[in-house]
Structure 1
Amino acid sequence: MGEVLGKVLVVDDDEVIRQLIAVNLTLEGFQVETAYDGQNCLDRVLDVMPDVITLDVMMPRLDGWMTATRLRGDKGTRHIKVVLITARAQEDDKRRGLGIGVDAYLTKPFDPAELIQVVRDLALATRSG
């Protein structure tokens, strides 16, 4: 087994999508943890301390917008790279995500190879300082 490329927290309320992302990233060499919604992400993020979080937008309890806002507002988590993954592809949504300070924005259905490349680039940026 090669070097771990980084640690990723995959957050999605859809178990099928969560597992699809997790399997793809694990096969690529990432250490992957999962959370089933935004609140579960916030409850676990300090224990996991991922390099990158993939974050669905439309989730119960706490959506991706509010989760990303809280991650950015906390000095303990604001450095973590965040990739929003959503079916909402309007420019207003992308601007909102960038305004919060997310690092990347992918729309569903996404290309797993593109997701892997985005996560890899962000993880490398984190590790190189």
Structure 2
Amino acid sequence: MIQPQAHLNVVDNSGARELMCIRIIGANNRRYARIGDIIVAANKEAIPNTPLERSEVIRAVIESLQIIKEKKLQVPPVHAVVVGSNISAQTKFETELRSFVTEKKIQNRVHFINKTLTVAPYLAVIDVLVQNSQVLHCLF
């Protein structure tokens, strides 16, 4: 239970490690803070080299680790398709891209498609198009 004078461990990127509850905002007749309540707290311990200083008074929201885990965003599987790949004559860019894919172990999410004149099926199903343009300087 969280009440004034209670010490709390902090799990965020603010720089605080431990807070002490000073007051529960909006709790006129309540003695304890609930999940979702905002409290006024004093920073008792801070991570070194962060802008938050010891004894600094801040406002904080009470959250449960269980709730944070439940609210965690589910990232949908994302795939990248590189159309116009040429295995026999790879450009420096494509060589670096293939090395990056192998290094990050994402071969199952990045697909290289050989050069083709029928790109319409690929264009019909994409959400984002990134086009690599190479400028050739020609003298006429």
TM-score (normalised: structure 1): 0.30
**Rg comparison, structure with higher value:** 2
Q: Which has the higher contact order (CA 8 A, sep 6+)?
A: 1
More strand by percentage? 2
TM-score computed with the length of structure 2 as normaliser: 0.29
